[in-house]
Chains A and B, each alone.
Chain A
Amino acid sequence: MRNPITGETIRVNPFRGFRSIVYKEVLHIRRDFMTVFFAMFIPTLQMIVLGFGIDTNIRQVNTVVFDENGKKESRELIDRLRNSDTFRVREFVQSDAALNDAIVGGRAKVGIKIPYDYSRQLLDRSTAQVLVLIDGSDSSVAGQAINVATSIGFEESLRRALPPRYAIPVEVRPKLLFNPDSRSPNFFLPGLVAVLLLFFTAFLTALAIVREKERGTLEQLFVTPVRPLGLLLGKLVPYFAIGLMGLSALLFFMRTVFQVPIAGHVLLLYALATPYLFVNLSIGLLISSRANTQPEAMQLSMMVILPTIFFSGYIFPRETMPLPFYILSFFVPGTYFVNISRGIILRGAGIQHLWSDGLVLLGMGVLLLLAAAKRFQKKVIAT
């Protein structure tokens, strides 16, 4: 900047007021602990529900059996189904109508009918048929039931086709990497880190600034020599610190209560959380440049938080999304951090695998912060 009269260069510190704002913001946070508590509430609830409650593995599906055959062979087959851990035989029925009714009525998701000629067909060395009815209204249960029922059928066929004590020709041995027991906390909690940090930062920063709008103190600040960058960064830093504390707490509970091991370097996780926090805080600033009241800010925050929950791959795998959503997911910062978090915690990925995600986040953060600073300069003044 240049003094218009003397032509001298004016050295304006673009961060003017930064320290004062940090000082004040820390006092606000200490006095208004309820807001921080509120921001913690939803992620904590998610952690408890997803960590303890939801088990995405399908076990013990209610099953109803119509055993028309009632011989040794059919009982053997029923035992095999029971032993698979996928099916829990709840009841035996004596007619097709009853079998159907059990599924329609929701008492069972799978109905198995073993026809009267089952054992005779086996002895005749012709094909014995078994009917498996599956309730398709829950696709994940249906998929699992089909797979298990089919493979039990194959095993049973092989066993009967091969001579006794003859080795099975091909055996596929799937091995689940990184989450061998396919425990759902291992899958959800690293992703939850992304959502939690978003709540802590975007949401709290937006509220902090909108509150100043409501009180009229923002206008007052703009008549002081505080510069927009000093104001914005001064607001960011305390919530950044809170975000890091939230991250630490989440990692602690994940490790101790939910027993999710961290395969990679925790320090790398912190290092890469930094650009992510930066993005979120900038989003918070953008929200606050638009919203004039706290409820408005909450609504706008939800518009950011929901896409993160749905499109980041935190709950639904991105690969199976329809193309428009898949493309959209590239613009959701959470996508990159879910990948970083799962990469480090579950797969033990290093910086060589994750640097590009970090770089994208950094780029997003810089762009968003500049946009927020620009909007502030224009918008706040015109109120």
Chain B
Amino acid sequence: MKEKERRLGETEALPDGAAIHAQGLVRRFGKFVAVDGVDLRVDKGEVFGFLGPNGSGKTTVIKMLTGLLPLSGGAAWVDGLDVRMDAEGVRERIGYMSQKFSLYDDLTVTENMTFYGTIYGLRNARLKQRMEATIELNGLEPYVNRQAGKLSGGWKQRLALGCAMLHEPKMMFLDEPTAGIDPVARRQLWDLIFELSGHGVTFFVTTHYIDEAERCSHVGYIYYGRMIADGTPAELKALPDVRPAGTKRVEITAPEITRALRLARAMDGIRSATVFGQSIHALVEERFDLGEMRDALSGHGIHVTEVRTLEPSLEDVFVELTYKHKAVGGWATE
């Protein structure tokens, strides 16, 4: 099986050379539209966080971008290659880690890596060198001869990541890489992602964790097949939908927080309110008098300990946008 280099034209399809570029991406399964006109642009070296509820089309988008699923409409380029035309070429250049850390449980760490490495055409000295580097980077030395099935979740995930990056892809797709692993492993994974991103690797990461999204240099939020947010975390927090003109966000710390919430929600001038730990995060109108609220709550025996204005979090962003799209959109859930 002699595998000579593929004689690919290196011509970029896009003049600007975005790492990922998608236009009007559509995917239908029968009558069900799983992905409905998604536009996407991820620049080289970015860490793109892709969020959305379960079943909203995250994995479907990844499958289309990696050439696993044909497009029902629209176009997409990955590293300059049109995924409709050259899915093979795309697969050559990307690393992909699926939700389940698809490893062979009965194969050892070294064997799993050898297998994936040789698939990408790594041989002999080059394979050895890449394996050593990857093992070191992921801290896998103590486990090289252990079967993958006998590793804990965090180590499985590192091995899966190691297998996906052996061939030094410029583009990594990680589908929920931190689902079910402990906080330390989660932190270490993100450190590694940023280290690699510093070397010019582009990351496309789906996640359920808002705190992970906050770390990303670029965030997209997909809701039932449509991208409803796309930008840097700061840009998203500044969206008019998130901070409508004439409103501000405040944090109110008080005892008996659930009773306080019930009272606050009934007050005139509070648009929305929700509990965060021992405090209430509320979106209030500019004219809303915080002093009056304090007094009103005191009347019910609740003494507010602290009130301060607040920057919206990404969670606020996604909640607001989701409400808005539920109200406006009318596209049914499922």
Contacts and interface: CB of A to CB of B under 8 A. Distances in A.
Contact of B111 (A1, A27, A225, A227): A27
A215 B173 CA distance: 19
B7 A382 contact: no
B304 interface: no
A223 B111 contact: no
Contacts of A230: 1
Contacts, number: 108
B205 to A, nearest CB: 15
Contacts of A256: none
B256 interface: no
A381 interface: yes
Nearest to A8: B9
B91 A225 contact: yes
B141 interface: no
Given A9-B7, A10-B8, A18-B1, A24 B102 contact: no
Interface string A338-358: 000000000000000000000
Given A23-B115, A223-B68, A382-B69, A10 B103 contact: no
B296 to A, nearest CB: 55
Interface string A17-38: 1111001100110011000000
Interface in B105-121: 105-107, 111, 114-116, 118-121
Interface in A188-235: 215-217, 219-227, 230
A5 interface: yes
Given A4-B82, A20-B118, A217-B102, A15 B1 contact: yes
B130 to A, nearest CB: 15
B6 interface: yes
Contacts of A20: 115-116, 118-119
A224 B91 contact: yes
A3 interface: yes
A6 interface: yes
B118 A19 contact: yes
A90 to B, nearest CB: 59
Interface SS of chain B: loop
Interface string B41-78: 00000000000000000000000001111100000000
A237 to B, nearest CB: 12
Contacts of B98: 216, 219-220, 223
Contacts of B111: 24, 27
B64 to A, nearest CB: 11
A225 B7 contact: no
Of residues A1, A4, A225, A230, which shows the largest number of chain B Cβ atoms within 10 Å of its Cβ? A225
B68 A10 contact: no
A267 interface: no
Contact of A223 (B96, B115, B118, B121): B96
Interface in B4-23: 4, 6-9, 11, 13
B102 A219 contact: yes
A121 B97 CA distance: 96
Nearest to A223: B96
Contacts of A226: 119
A111 B7 CA distance: 86
B107 A27 contact: yes
23 contacts: A1-B88, A3-B85, A5-B9, A5-B13, A8-B7, A10-B6, A10-B8, A16-B119, A19-B1, A27-B106, A27-B111, A28-B104, A28-B106, A215-B100, A220-B96, A221-B119, A223-B68, A224-B96, A225-B92, A226-B119, A227-B88, A230-B1, A381-B68
Interface of A: 1, 3-6, 8-13, 15-20, 23-24, 27-28, 31-32, 215-217, 219-227, 230, 381-382
Given A3-B8, A24-B107, A223-B68, 6 more contacts: A3-B9, A10-B6, A16-B1, A28-B106, A31-B107, A222-B68
